[in-house]
Amino acid sequence: MEQMNEVSMNEVPFYEEFQVFSRKTPTSQVQEQFTLLAPNHEIALVMAQENFMRREEVCDIWVVKRSDIRSMNSEERAVLKRIDNKDYRTTKGYGYLARIWREAEQGMFDEKEILSWSKGRVK
């Protein structure tokens, strides 16, 4: 029986790894801060709060089990590579717009020209 308890305890670790995220203001972005070891979410949150009380002010703290965070595998990452013929999707592909706007503004009517259309009917 002792051997069975020893095996089951080795399979499930007491401490789990948690990622801690925080926000400085309600409208700011969430930023990853650090990793800590804790037995559960509640203790992880208390430990994170204690850590921030000694450092900087924050308005919100999130703790997430590291094992719950899923990242992409190598096959999924390969999909993120850009195809070379897609320059029109980047902002550098729209550099000609500044020239077009300049030309359009030069062709716009000014106030004097618009008022001249009224031929003295404006009071």
For the domain covering 2-68+82-106, report its CATH number.
Answer: 3.10.20.520
Name residue, tokens 């404006």.
Answer: 122
pLDDT tens digits, 43-55? 999 999 998 888 8
**Burial profile 60-69: b = 16 or more Cβ within 10 angstroms, e = fewer:** ebebeeeeee
Question: Is the pLDDT assigned to residue 18 strictly greater than 50?
Answer: yes
Domain residues of the chain, as ranges?
2-68+82-106
* pLDDT given for residue 48 in this prediction: 94
**C-alpha of 47 from chain center:** 24
Place 37 in a pLDDT band, splitting at 50, 70 and 90.
very high
DSSP-derived secondary structure letter, 22: E
pTM over 0.85: no
* Residue 100, helix vs strand vs coil: helix
Cβ 32 vs Cβ 55: under 8 Å: no
Q: Rounded to whole angstroms, how far apart are CA atoms 71 and 38?
A: 22
